[in-house]
Amino acid sequence: MSGATHPPLRILLAALGGEGGGVLMNWIVQAARDAGLVAQATSVPGVAQRTGSTSYYIEIAGKDAAGSVLSLVPMPGRVDVVVSSELVETARVMAAGFVSPKLTTLISSTARTYSTAEKIQLGDGRYSEDNVRRTAEALARDSYLLDLGQIANDSATFVSATMFGALAGSGVLPWDIAASRAVLGEGRSATASRAGFDAAAQTVQDLRAGPAPAPAPAAPALAFASCKPATSASSPDGRAPSSSND
């Protein structure tokens, strides 16, 4: 980008066909422009739900970037935020070099939609989810892994809404969560979108805060024996017994 003082915020969205990735892209662009910022977005649609990746690239720059040329495609090692709707799509993005340990905030759903390569195996052809998780945590500067698909199902909405909520909750956008929520609109579908948005945003905020500190262990209850003074046995006549050496 030329002509601006600060580099733009570069966001890469990775999704599957039919998940509303284009809607998500438009929400982000609208929120950016409502905030008075300059935004540009491009997309590479997949052929179908599992025959090609669907990616959307957005650059958001400050007001001083008006008239500047923003990039149309993401560059490896130069993406600030990656948001992915599916775990193996996350692996695809990482393999392409778009996740940088010095730069990238990675927000990924842990949900799975099995690929054709996994399904055609005679045995268990599933990719290792644990490997993808460990790689995500190692490669990204910050990583937030959560089941955005399940949150969407619980809210009766699409994963695009939960992806947007997770992005807003991560704190990387140059506007507040309320401004993101405002672009979801009104109506029945918007109500469900807001529910999914809110749930995902809260989940990521909880992940950012980290696990709650464990409560301090309670002091052990000490059992004290009866502290009666010891008394020596006395002889029948009341005198102390004599030593056996006497």
146-155 pLDDT, tens digit each: 999 999 999 9
Q: Which among 148, 141, 140, 190 is positioned nearest to 168, based on CA atoms? A: 148
Q: Express as a percent the part of the chain with pLDDT over 70.
A: 79
Q: Examine the pLDDT at 239 and tell me if it is beyond 60.
A: no
Question: What percentage of residues in the chain have a pLDDT greater than 90?
Answer: 58
- The strand pairing partners of 54, in sequence order, are 15
pLDDT on residue 219? 60
**How much is the pTM?**
0.80
Return mean pLDDT, the chain.
84
Strand ordering across the sheet containing 81-84: 38-44, 54-61, 9-15, 81-84, 105-109, 142-146
Place of tokens 């029945």: 188
Q: Is the pLDDT of residue 235 over 70?
A: no
Cα atoms found within 13 Å of the Cα of residue 113, Cβ hemisphere only: 21
Q: How far apart are CA 94 and CA 43, in angstroms?
A: 18
HEC sequence for 4-18? CCCCCEEEEEEECCC
Distance CA 100, CA 18 (A): 28
Residue of 103, 25, 20 lying closest to 60 (CA atoms): 25
